[in-house]
Amino acid sequence: MFVGHYAASLAAKAAVPRAPLWSLVLAAQAIDIGWSGLVVAGIEKVRIDPSLPGSALDLYHMPYTHSLPAVIVWSAAALGLARLARLPWAAAAAIAATVFSHWLLDLLVHRPDLELWFGGAKVGFGLWNYPVPEQAVEIGLLGLAAAAWAWTRGRAGRSLWPVLVFVGALVAVQIIAMVMPGGGDAAGLGTTALVVYLALGALAWGLDRKDA
Between 50 and 10, whose confidence is greater?
10
Mean pLDDT of 30-36: 95
**Could you tell me the pTM of the whole model?**
0.93
Average pLDDT, the chain: 93
59, pLDDT greater than 60: yes
77, pLDDT greater than 90: yes
CA 123 – CA 130 distance, rounded (Å): 17
Give the rounded distance of the alpha carbon of 47 from its chain centre. Answer: 20
Residue 120 pLDDT grade (very low, low, confident, very high; cuts 50, 70, 90):
very high
Mean pLDDT of 193-204: 94
Please say whether the beta carbons of 32 and 197 come within 8 A. Answer: yes
| DSSP symbol at 61 | E
Q: State pLDDT tens for residues 144-194.
A: 999 999 999 999 999 999 999 999 999 998 888 777 655 567 778 888 889
In one-letter notation, the amino acid at residue 28 is: A
- Pick left, alpha or beta for residue 120 (phi over 0 → left; psi -120 to 50 → alpha; otherwise beta): beta
Residue 168 burial class via C-beta count within 10 angstroms: exposed 0-12, middle 13-18, buried 19 and up:
exposed
